[in-house]
Structure 1
Amino acid sequence: MDAPPAEPGSPPAPPAGVSRTGVGGSVPAARVPTSDGGPARPAGRPGPDPLPRRVHAGYALGSLATGAFGTVPGLLLLPYLTDTLGVAAGLAALLVLLPKAWDVLVNPVAGRISDRTRSRWGPRRPWLLGAGLALAVLFAAIFAAPFGVGPAAGAYVAVAFLATATAFAFFQVPYVAMPAELTDDAAERTRLMGWRVAVLALAILISGAVAPMVVTAGGEGVAGHRWMGVFVAVLIALGALGAFLGTRSAATGTVTATEPTLRAQLAVVAADRPFRALLLCFVVQSAGVATVLAGVSYFAAQILRDPTTGPTVLFACFVGPALLVMPLWTRLGARLGKKTALVAASLLLAAGAAALVAAPVLPAAAVYAVVALLGVGYAGQQVFALALLPDCVAASTARTGRRQAGVFTGLWTAGETFGLALGPGIYGLVLALSGYVSSATGTAAAQTSTARLGVLLGFTLIPALLIAPATLLLRPHRYLPPAGPAAPDGRAGAEVTHATGKGTTLP
């Protein structure tokens, strides 16, 4: 039940864990910092029970859907348009960008709708099922090619991609909102994100490495892409069903007070400085990662001269290390704090991308080793950004007393989706500027040295210049849980959890 509103002019109610004593002041209750960045809990109160492994695993299965949809269009849609449907590179970049840019508008709406959903399954899980299955069907439709090749085929892809992006918004936003409601423990949320990113890495490996193989096995061209669309649709459906069924025994969240309008909710989120800093950093870095993904097929064909097996090997080298180093990143985050670990992982990712500028003169084994280094950085960048998000949501909920996780995650997923769409758009623009020649045969045309240089720079230097400087946006990142009433000396008796992840109490 929501607490009654305070009378005008009355002092604010103390946050959890702050007790008022005496007449003229307050004394903060003793606090016990959590292990890695969450609000400290009162001394003597046991921490929340850890989530069962089945909930960790069930929630993580949803990343089969998010990973597949986030990977395959970024990897294959641009070359599908340019090298199979014969769409010019500049127009293809626009067709890839605009449908996902639509999510910038629809994701906050999806978040507000899920916040206000009432059902026996809770506010989020109905969307995992309904929108997840719709996403699977619509994804297969993107590559159905009912109009063959040419301009009409390109227009069909744009419309189908727009519908698929809308379904994805209504799946992803509730899915990303769930961790803040599954547990109040920041350390437990980090473990939950570790499971999720591990499955995400597996989904990227399966969809990114196997999808090109399905295209080849299906006969290349339009026919091969149709089979690939069905394969990825099955993967998405398995992820949606797994997340829906796997979280059935977990806390579902309760419908509490929210701001009365979407505009008011967006204003609250926009005023949250930690969230703004984290979101902007993640959007820019997502664009950098997506630029790498968009260039895999081009890089394999034009730089490594291995269009058949090159994309699969590159993906295996990029994603495989993530499955191995995730426990190491989790320990490093507990030691250094999530923000510091995020910066370290991002710089490692950017350094690896920049080093690949030398790929034309390196042996293939060395190139694959550097790509593996990118994968190590990518794993950490994903897990810590995703672990910091529910901490922001929880801090806002504690500060305002209103549940607006859906709006926070709606803006987050809108930004992420826009970044993932912007990456192929950037790469397509680089190809157009460098004179890349499109083809309607299913096989890439012969390219000039200038076009091959564009392929190289779009895969290496441009992502590095997006990912590394974005870490500067995290400098003002702080968590400020609700301030307690003024202490006798006039200072706020608030606990401040800094971005280093160490909880302290200010007297």
Structure 2
Amino acid sequence: MTAAAPLTRRDLVTYAVGSIGTGIYSTVPGLLLLYFMTDTLGVAAGVAGLVVTLPKAWDVFFNPLVGAASDRDAVRTGRRTRLLIAGTVALPPAFALMFLAPATGGGAVLWVVLTFVLATSAFALFQVPYVALPAEMSDRPEVRTRIMVWRIVCLTLGILVAGGLAPAVVSLGGDGRAGYGIMGVTVGAVLAVALLVPALGSRRVPARPGSEPLGLAAAFRTARGNRAFFALLAAFVLQAAAVAIMLAAAPYVATYRLGSRGLTSVLFVCLVAPSAFAVPVWGRAAARWGRLRCLGVATGVFALAAAALWPAAGTGAAHVAVTLALCGVLGICYAALQVLPLSLLPDTVHADAERTGRLQSGAFTGLWTAGETAGLAAGPGLFSIALALAGFVSSTHDHPVAQTAGARAGVLIGFSVVPAVLMLASLPALRAYGRRRVPLPISPPPADPDQEPEPETEHAR
């Protein structure tokens, strides 16, 4: 995988496989950790919300540091491999430990906080340089869109495997703490394999951070002038928070609204599986009508479908069928919310390089992943607040508690109304990005037309 040579399918697969791992890690804690604490470890909803939010808040500070370190290492070694390997080694055991809590109540709170901080820090070591690689794999926007399509297909596969497999492993393991422990070890092993492939493959990608690395403070000062980047980041953070809320709410909706905890995997698969097929479709649509326009349409439809879940979700075959169908619509839109912002991100990095003379891939992706982490952390936190305000009562696996009508209504508000509002709130930021972006020159067609898709139109840029 070099920046100069045309990218082969092997290059694309080698890079994209890592997104199976990032998808798994981003999904399982968001889907199960809050529910694990409130319904297995007996932690109060408000406290559990802080537990799953504060460790990720650490990443908002830590990720930019990793980005600056990644740029410095790229200058010294010409590659971003060392941090990728460090994250690959550290993340799987830290992930498994999160679900191996030896106690309930207060002891569980301390255990999950410490292990979650370790896991999020390890994930940052991998994620930040990993997201920086596409800007260094190609200078051409249409090629980076192709890279993102492959990446998001694998990301969707990882999310789908995580959402469908992890709850099933918990059930097969006997539910309770034992089932979650088995799931943590199993998923940790899958993570190790998925992350190792791109970590080793990154040795073939030459890094181009500039003549010398920028320190963190200097990177922030330089990035401050890139208004298009921050507008795109603001939209992405709001959308990430909306999706994270729905992931955190899924097991609660299955249990307390649809009437069966066993529907968690079905609900999740309906929410994510359509995106696996929709990613290439969004890629072709973006090439024809423009990435930003398609992203705005997907955002609006997502908000409408999420709001429609309010009257739809309930017990009974008809309510379950409509809920699952709406989740399918959300899954189609979710594909665009993943692939299109990430295909626009390298454009802002290269436009900034035209302005400053420095290609700060690590610094910008450090800020980007910090924002993404903040959004993913805010989602479960906001949902836990909704649960606490609605009077949700926590329990252990052996002593379940019947929830009040108000608590069940709070579950549905968090699953439908709040994500819809956040999606609508992201639209002004997308419009601001459209006003502030700097168009990049269209690259000439590649020598081998079979290797690359058609160049993007003016709208696509």
TM-score > 0.5 by shorter chain: yes
1:256 counterpart SS class: coil
1:295 counterpart SS class: helix
Q: 2:132 aligns with which of 172, 177, 195?
A: 177
Gaps (5+ residues) in structure 1? 1-46, 484-496, 503-507
Q: 1:298 aligns with which of 252, 275, 278?
A: 252
Q: 1:290 to 1:411 in 2, by over 3 A?
A: same
Aligned residue in 2 for 1:225? 180
Aligned residue in 2 for 1:479? 437
Q: 1:143 aligns with which of 79, 83, 99?
A: 99
Shift of 1:364: 1.5
CA contact (8 A) 1:258 1:402 kept: no
Aligned residue in 2 for 1:115? 71
Shift of 1:326: 1.5
Instruction: Please identify, of 376-385 and 396-405, the stretch whose mean Cα deviation from structure 2 is larger.
Output: 396-405
Aligned residue in 2 for 1:71? 27
CA contact (8 A) 2:68 2:213 kept: no
CA contact (8 A) 1:479 1:498 kept: no
Shift of 1:149: 1.1
Give per-residue Cα distances to partners, 1:277-332, cap 9 Å, x unaligned: 00011011110100000000000001110112x11111111111111112210111
CA contact (8 A) 1:339 1:499 kept: no
Aligned residue in 1 for 2:336? 380
Q: Aligned partners of 1:444 and 1:397: how far apart in 2?
A: 56
Give per-residue Cα distances to partners, 1:228-262, cap 9 Å, x unaligned: 1012111211121121234444x321352356431
CA contact (8 A) 1:259 1:402 kept: no
Letter in 1 for 2:273: G
Give per-residue Cα distances to partners, 1:311-365, cap 9 Å, x unaligned: 1111111111111112210111011111111111111221111111112454322
Q: Aligned partners of 1:256 and 1:119: how far apart in 2?
A: 7
Q: 2:48 aligns with which of 64, 79, 92?
A: 92
Instruction: Please identify, of 118-127 and 329-338, the stretch whose mean Cα deviation from structure 2 is larger.
Output: 118-127
Aligned residue in 2 for 1:353? 306
CA contact (8 A) 2:242 2:422 kept: yes
Aligned residue in 2 for 1:369? 325
Aligned residue in 2 for 1:83? 39
CA contact (8 A) 1:290 1:423 kept: yes
Give per-residue Cα distances to partners, 1:191-218, cap 9 Å, x unaligned: 1000111111110010111100101101
Shift of 1:501: 2.9
Shift of 1:122: 3.9
Cα RMSD for the two superposed structures:
2.0
Alignment of 1:392-411 (within 5 A): 392-411=348-367
Q: Aligned partners of 1:211 and 1:345: how far apart in 2?
A: 28
CA contact (8 A) 1:142 1:229 kept: yes
Aligned residue in 1 for 2:81? 125
CA contact (8 A) 1:65 1:235 kept: yes
Shift of 1:395: 1.4
Quote the sequence identity (%).
45
Q: Aligned partners of 1:318 and 1:482: how far apart in 2?
A: 35
Q: 1:317 aligns with which of 240, 264, 270?
A: 270
Letter in 2 for 1:102: W
CA contact (8 A) 1:57 1:246 kept: no
Q: Aligned partners of 1:339 and 1:420: how far apart in 2?
A: 22
Q: Which is helix-richer, 1 or 2?
A: 2
Q: Aligned partners of 1:197 and 1:121: how far apart in 2?
A: 28
Aligned residue in 1 for 2:241? 287
Letter in 1 for 2:44: A
Q: Aligned partners of 2:220 and 2:203: how far apart in 1?
A: 30
Q: Aligned partners of 1:271 and 1:221: how far apart in 2?
A: 50
Aligned residue in 1 for 2:222? 268
Q: 1:473 to 1:78 in 2, by over 3 A?
A: same
Aligned residue in 2 for 1:336? 289
Q: 1:424 to 1:300 in 2, by over 3 A?
A: same
Aligned residue in 2 for 1:29? none
Alignment of 1:6-45 (within 5 A): none
CA contact (8 A) 2:68 2:215 kept: no
1:178 counterpart SS class: helix
2:181 counterpart SS class: helix
Scaled by the length of structure 1, the TM-score of the pair is: 0.83
Q: Aligned partners of 1:217 and 1:260: how far apart in 2?
A: 50
Q: Aligned partners of 1:397 and 1:339: how far apart in 2?
A: 21
Q: Aligned partners of 2:22 and 2:97: how far apart in 1?
A: 17
Residue 501 in structure 1 maps to residue 426 in structure 2: no
Alignment of 1:135-214 (within 5 A): 135-146=91-102, 148-214=103-169
Letter in 1 for 2:168: M
Aligned residue in 1 for 2:450? none
Q: Aligned partners of 2:51 and 2:220: how far apart in 1?
A: 28
Q: Flag the structure with larger Rg.
A: 1
